[in-house]
Structure 1
Amino acid sequence: MSTVPVFVQNGRLDPIAANHLGRALFCFLFEDPERPMNAARFVFLDARAQDFYRDWESTAEQIVAILRTILHTEAGRNPYARALTDLVGELSTRSDQFRTLWASHIVRERRTGIKSIHHPIVGDLDLTYEGMQLAAEPELLLLAYAGVPGSASSDGLQLLAGWVAGKEYPSGAAISVQGNETATGA
Structure 2
Amino acid sequence: MISLNGPDETRAQIRDFLVSRRARVNPADVGIPNHGRRRVEGLRREEVAMLAGISVEYYTKLERGDAVGASPSVVNAVANVLNLDDVEREHLKRLMFASDEADVHTRATRSAMRIRPSLQRLLDALADVPAYILNKRLDIVGVNALGRAVYSPMYDRFPEPVNTARFFFLAEDASRAFWEDWDGVAANGVAILRAERALRPNDRDLTELIEELSSHSAEFRRRWATHDVHRHSTGLKVIRHPIVGRLELPYENFALPADPELSMMTYNPEPGTPAGDAIKLLQSWAADRQAPRVRPAVEPAESDDHSATS
**Number of residue pairs the alignment of both structures matches:** 171
Q: 2:194 aligns with which of 43, 54, 68?
A: 68
Counterparts in 2 of 1:10 and 1:59: CA distance versus 1, 3 Å: same
Give the drift of 1:178.
Answer: 4.1
Matched, 1:127 2:252: no
Other structure's SS at 1:48 match: helix
CA distance in 1, matches of 2:138, 2:216: 17
CA distance in 2, matches of 1:11, 1:143: 13
The amino acid that maps onto 1:49 is S
Matches within 5 A, 1:44-123: 44-46=169-171, 47-75=173-201, 80-123=202-245
The match for 1:166 is 288
Counterparts in 2 of 1:133 and 1:45: CA distance versus 1, 3 Å: same
**8 Å Cα contact 1:113/1:130 also seen in 2:** yes
CA distance in 1, matches of 2:160, 2:290: 25
Gaps of 5+ in 2: 1-125, 299-310
Gaps of 5+ in 1: 180-186
Greater share of helix = 2
Q: 2:143 aligns with which of 4, 7, 18?
A: 18
Q: Percent of counterpart pairs with the same letter?
A: 39
CA distance in 1, matches of 2:216, 2:161: 16
Counterparts in 2 of 1:36 and 1:20: CA distance versus 1, 3 Å: closer
The match for 1:40 is 165
Matches within 5 A, 1:147-166: 147-166=269-288
Rg comparison, structure with higher value: 2
**8 Å Cα contact 2:236/2:249 also seen in 1:** yes
Greater share of strand = 1
Give the drift of 1:165.
Answer: 3.0
Counterparts in 2 of 1:103 and 1:74: CA distance versus 1, 3 Å: same
CA distance in 2, matches of 1:40, 1:126: 21
CA distance in 2, matches of 1:69, 1:176: 29
Give the drift of 1:158.
Answer: 1.1
Question: What CA deviation, in whole Å up to 9, does each residue of 1:79-120 have, x standing for no partner?
Answer: x21110111111111111111000000012132111100011
Aligned Cα RMSD in Å? 2.0
TM-score, length-scaled by structure 1: 0.85
The match for 2:258 is 136
The match for 2:106 is none
Other structure's SS at 2:231 match: coil
Question: What CA deviation, in whole Å up to 9, does each residue of 1:145-172 have, x standing for no partner?
Answer: 0113321111111111122233589xxx
